Amino acid sequence: MKIGELAALVGVSTRTIRHYHHQGLLPEPERRANGYREYLLRDAVILARVRRLAELGLSLDEVRDVLADDQGKDLREVLRELDDDLARQQLSIQKRRERLAALLAETDLDADSAVSPAMASVLRTLPAGGSTFADFDREMLALVDTTAGPGEREAFAAMLRPLTEPEAVARGHAIYARMDDLADAAPDDPRVAALAREVAGHLPAEMKAMMLAATANGHDQWLDEMPLHLSPAQAKVFDLLMDILQEER
Amino acid sequence: MKIGELAALVGVSTRTIRHYHHQGLLPEPERRANGYREYLLRDAVILARVRRLAELGLSLDEVRDVLADDQGKDLREVLRELDDDLARQQLSIQKRRERLAALLAETDLDADSAVSPAMASVLRTLPAGGSTFADFDREMLALVDTTAGPGEREAFAAMLRPLTEPEAVARGHAIYARMDDLADAAPDDPRVAALAREVAGHLPAEMKAMMLAATANGHDQWLDEMPLHLSPAQAKVFDLLMDILQEER
DNA sequence: GCTTGACCTTGACGCAACGTCAACGTTTGT
DNA sequence: ACAAACGTTGACGTTGCGTCAAGGTCAAGC
């Protein structure tokens, strides 16, 4: 039979058959005088076998291997690996669907897709007006929010809740202003230490605990990544803050 | 921050970041005097968003679309489609794992991977010695076996069981020989009609039913595909056989 | 004999989402 | 001062075919 007939018989495209020839999965058959490939039933059998394995999810390379040491010895091994692989895929899809469901539930309430709704509501009430450092802080919070896992986001936003109360907002506003003032200050400026203490008094206990845990945990980077936008004095505030937190513990 | 730092911060490769630039997913940042890209925290936020969506399984094109009409209006729609897609994938993986489990159970008993074990056991007892037509028949059976669904295979093999009993094997042997004899005969040879009647008496009732159902069912091809290897007289045997089956019904 | 349409041939590019050189300039640490 | 590490652009490799491109072949109808 001709290639189109074989293709129709087994249910693949002629391109697929030629591809398999090229990959050595299906031997090239005899040619007719006109150059057409002349297939026999055997070829259909082989092709059908290849398709069966390929449709199970084996790569063409794996199919070739399996067909090569035809003993069925290696076959079971490969199939088991494949099954493990599929099991993993199932799990990962399951997790993705769960995250999706959470995301869908969220966006039903709040259309802001940039950050989680929990964080969005926090950001709405945090001080923002014109402070360079406030902008920096907001971006940092947004970043943490987007990189966190689904459950972590709510926990993180909950941690920030105390900072959204009117008193705390006013106090935060002042802190941002004092941070801005340190933009060009020297690291040993007396305002640095004072501000660190102020911040230590301002932050919720849970947040301090998390910051300590994060630095202890090898996630030391979260501070070291940012100094690009912090002046030396501002960076020093963070250093001192961390020292204070360690002592408090 | 430089590209490597951004990459480490968000947890992707620098290549990925440049790829996103190229795809317009992440705006190209300012350059330093030396040509290095200079990233800000905003970029990290955007990049993290892209990654979140991409890891959910959105294509980069879809991510771009979602980020474009940022209203979250289209987002839910896309997410729902994605969820449907994932559900379908879950199902297909589930089916594949079931087929795999069946295949593994089979191959534990029988290492012949060319055909199903049920068919293998049938083929082992069917007559085979030196007959051209017997070879043809075996190949056709193997082809049907490999192209059939998992459940169908056992049913098909079961249908052939009666033909593996000693008496039937001897009779089949004779039929094959008579088929071989018709290789160069004319279609109106008297042996043709006689052989068709013999075959009709030889085949199990269930198999006849299936053959009739297959031809009635638009699956008319199963005969028309093969004549390449059948002489005109041999093809005529099949035609007459089908006529007889129709009358019997 | 000629056209038309349905096949066949080989060859090559396209796709998704990056990985991985290559060839070269820059920065950083000792 | 020199090597290691990092940055730049550019281009090819991967997987499993789909999809032209540019023809040659064959059967049928005029």
**Tokens, residue A43:** 């070829």
- Please state the pTM of the whole predicted model: 0.72
Closest CA to A116 of A151, A85, A86: A151
Q: Taking the C-alpha atoms of B145, B150, B151 and B157 in order, what is their torsion angle to the nearest 10 degrees?
A: 30
Nucleotide nearest to A2 (CA to C1'): C8
Nucleotides of C under 7 A from a protein CB: 7-10, 16-20, 26-27
Q: Give, in order, the Cα–Cα distances in Å from A234 to each of A123, A154, A197, A226, B200.
A: 22, 28, 13, 11, 96
Helices assigned H by DSSP within B110-149: 117-125, 132-147
Name the residue in chain A with its Cα closest to that of B81.
A100
CA separation for the pair B178, B190 (Å, rounded): 12
A170: number of Cβ within 10 Å: 11
Beta strand A30-31 pairing with A37-38: antiparallel
Q: What is the DSSP string of B168-212?
A: HHHHHHHHHHHHHHGGG--TT-HHHHHHHHHHHHHS-HHHHHHHH
CA separation for the pair A143, A115 (Å, rounded): 9
Which residue type occupies A99?
R
Check CB contact under 8 Å for A147 and B75: no
Residue A156 exposed, middle or buried by CB count within 10 Å (0-12, 13-18, 19+): buried
pLDDT tens-digit profile of B147-169?
Answer: 666 567 777 788 888 888 888 88
Percent of chain A residues topping a pLDDT of 90: 19
Distance from CA of A196 to the nearest CA of B (A): 23
**CB–CB contacts below 8 A, A to B:** 144
Closest CA to A82 of A56, A52, A50: A56
Place of tokens 């102020």: A198
Q: Residues 6 or more apart from B7 whose CB is under 8 A from it?
A: B13, B14, B16, B17
pLDDT class for B216, splitting at 50, 70, 90? low
Residues 26-45 of B with CB under 7 A from strand D: 35-37
The C-alpha angle with vertex B241 and arms to B239 and B246, in degrees rounded to 5, equals 100
Distance from CA of A46 to the nearest CA of B (A): 8
pLDDT of A217 above 70: no
Residue A9 CB in 7 A reach of strand C = no
Torsions phi, psi for B178 (to 5 deg): -70, -35
Question: Which of B73, B75, B113 lies nearest to residue A75, judging by beta carbons?
Answer: B113
Closest CA to A27 of A14, A16, A38, A43: A43
Residues 155-194 of B with CB under 7 A from strand D: none
Question: Which of A90, A99, A228 lies nearest to residue B1, judging by beta carbons?
Answer: A228
B75: number of Cβ within 10 Å: 21
**Tokens, residue A108:** 């039903």
Query: Facing residues of A37 across strands?
Result: A31
pLDDT tens-digit profile of A69-120?
Answer: 766 567 778 788 888 888 988 988 898 888 888 777 766 554 455 666 677 7
pLDDT of B139 above 80: no
Most confident of A100-114, A150-164, B42-56: B42-56
pLDDT at B222: 55
Residue with the larger pLDDT of the pair B208 and B145: B208
pLDDT tens-digit profile of A170-209?
Answer: 888 888 888 888 888 888 889 988 988 998 888 988 888 7
Percent of chain A residues topping a pLDDT of 70: 82
pLDDT at A227: 43
